[in-house]
Structure 1
Amino acid sequence: MEKGVIIEKINNFLVDEFEVESEAILPEANLKDTLELDSLDFVDLVVAIEANFGVKLVSDDFINVDTLQNFYDLIENKLG
């Protein structure tokens, strides 16, 4: 899957599922601050990724994920 498609798909479900304003979705945006994740939201995010991309994520995958760009890269690496 091309990186542009991955980014578009992630951005669309952030807007649809997490009600993030599209203007706030920038590669340098902090993932936790932008999404305002609590523990339940984090579980929803993992489920959404698995459903949309067919990849399994575990909490250790998020250790170095601070920005949306890191998140895009994580999904791209999981798919690759």
Structure 2
Amino acid sequence: MAKAQSNFEQSIVELEKLVDALEGDELSLDESLKVFEKGVKLSRSCQKILDQAELKIQKLSDEQWQDVSDEL
């Protein structure tokens, strides 16, 4: 999970840089499209990491509730 967290954090930093570049007026249309495309890919990668974390949390929560019901 540490590698995923590192990738996630690096991707977020990169996304912030891409947004800053897109908000500026230095990029041509072609460059803007390339930056936007890279941002979409990074965003999808981040979403995948978040989805995996959510599944792990759900699994851990389900296991915890199973343990509680076993004790009853």
Fold shared by both chains (TM-score > 0.5): no
Q: Which has the larger radius of gyration?
A: 2
TM-score, normalised via structure 1 length: 0.28
TM-score, normalised via structure 2 length: 0.30
Structure with the largest fraction of helix: 2
